[in-house]
Structure 1
Amino acid sequence: MIKIKRDHLMNNEVIELVSSHLQGMNLHSPPESIHALNIENLKQRDITFWSVWEDSQLAGCGALKELDEHHGEIKSMRTATAHLRKGIAKELLQYIINEAQKRGYRRLSLETGSASAFEPARKLYTSFGFYECEPFSTYKEDPYSVFMTKKLND
């Protein structure tokens, strides 16, 4: 059974998963094009972080950053390797979309990589109604980034 819970980034397993996420970004993007957040940045007040558990095993994580009262950004979506292709990312993405709607956001956006390694993520987001857009918030045009957004129901 999958359980999604708000996480305060104190658990070593969660810290290792976030570190693994950052290492993965370093493999596929130059340093100036990596927008993934480290542990300290994920603890900022405008970010809510969740961990996903399958029984007692850490299965994934993800976060929602408030850009303004009507716009949120998905951050640090990651599925643990042992839990790939089990629907963890789909369940967490739906959870984050639901949370954004509860908060009254009108739009939910994200930045992901343009390399082929990020294609499964881009396909997942597209399947949930996200589409490519211009850079948002403080992002700049970057050949290593793909910006996506989804309008939410009022």
Structure 2
Amino acid sequence: MSISITTEPPLQDDVRTLVAELNAYLMPLSPREFQFQMTVEEMSEAALTLFIARDGTGQAVGMGALKEHGDGLGEIKRMYTLPQVRGQRVGARILERIEELAHKRGIRRLVLETGEGAGFEPAWRVYERGGFQVCGAVLDYPDSGYSRFYEKKFA
């Protein structure tokens, strides 16, 4: 399958669809108060760069974003791939593109929050295969037991 990954603005119907599918996937996996979802409007902030993966027909099949926090710190947000492309390294390729941009922008540490429990195993595999390591709570996320935190440091 041919996949292209580019930076795109979030205010698009197909991005809204990806966000809605991600939210629907997450809803039954952990309590709502421990889900840190972003709307496409929130994803439009200047500090966030969104990557969209599209298949050969132009359909959006995955997404992931880099949010810059300053002082060499970046956060990975809204990683998601459609079920029909899972196992084809689309998530890994999005993660690689995020890392490339982080390097260019002088980010020395990438962090992320994901769920802790059944249903999150595919995300853990992508991050761990990408060289991320489990760490303690990051940024202003609560250490609730419903989240797993990862980091990757660059020299």
1:25 paired residue number: 26
Given that 2:11 and 2:41 are in contact with CA atoms closer than 8 Å, whether structure 1 keeps it comes out as no
Whichever residue aligns with residue 45 of structure 2, its letter is Q
Q: Deviations over 1:94-148 (max 9, x none)?
A: 1111111111111000000001200111121111111111111111211110011
* Secondary structure of 1:10 counterpart: coil
2:114 paired residue number: 112
TM-score (norm 2): 0.93
Q: May I ask how many residue pairs the two structures share in their alignment?
A: 153
* Secondary structure of 1:120 counterpart: helix
Structure richer in helix, relative to its length: 1
Distance across 1 between alignment mates of 2:78 and 2:40: 10
1:143 aligns with 2:149: no
1:64 aligns with 2:66: yes
Distance across 2 between alignment mates of 1:20 and 1:104: 32
The equivalent position to 2:92 in structure 1, one of 90, 93, 114, is 90
- Report how far residue 69 of structure 1 moved: 3.2
Could you list the runs of 4 or more consecutive aligned residues of structure 1 that deviate by over 3 angstroms after TM superposition?
none
Name the Cα RMSD after superposition: 1.1
Distance across 1 between alignment mates of 2:144 and 2:97: 29
1:50 paired residue number: 51
1:124 paired residue number: 126
Whichever residue aligns with residue 101 of structure 2, its letter is E
Whichever residue aligns with residue 127 of structure 1, its letter is R
In structure 1, stretches of 5+ residues that fail to align are none
- Report how far residue 53 of structure 1 moved: 0.6
Given that 2:11 and 2:40 are in contact with CA atoms closer than 8 Å, whether structure 1 keeps it comes out as no
Distance across 2 between alignment mates of 1:152 and 1:116: 30
Distance across 1 between alignment mates of 2:138 and 2:42: 19
Distance across 1 between alignment mates of 2:141 and 2:130: 22
TM-score (norm 1): 0.94
1:6 paired residue number: 7
Distance across 2 between alignment mates of 1:71 and 1:92: 19
In structure 2, stretches of 5+ residues that fail to align are none
Whichever residue aligns with residue 154 of structure 2, its letter is L
- Report how far residue 10 of structure 1 moved: 2.9
* Secondary structure of 2:84 counterpart: helix
Distance across 2 between alignment mates of 1:128 and 1:86: 15
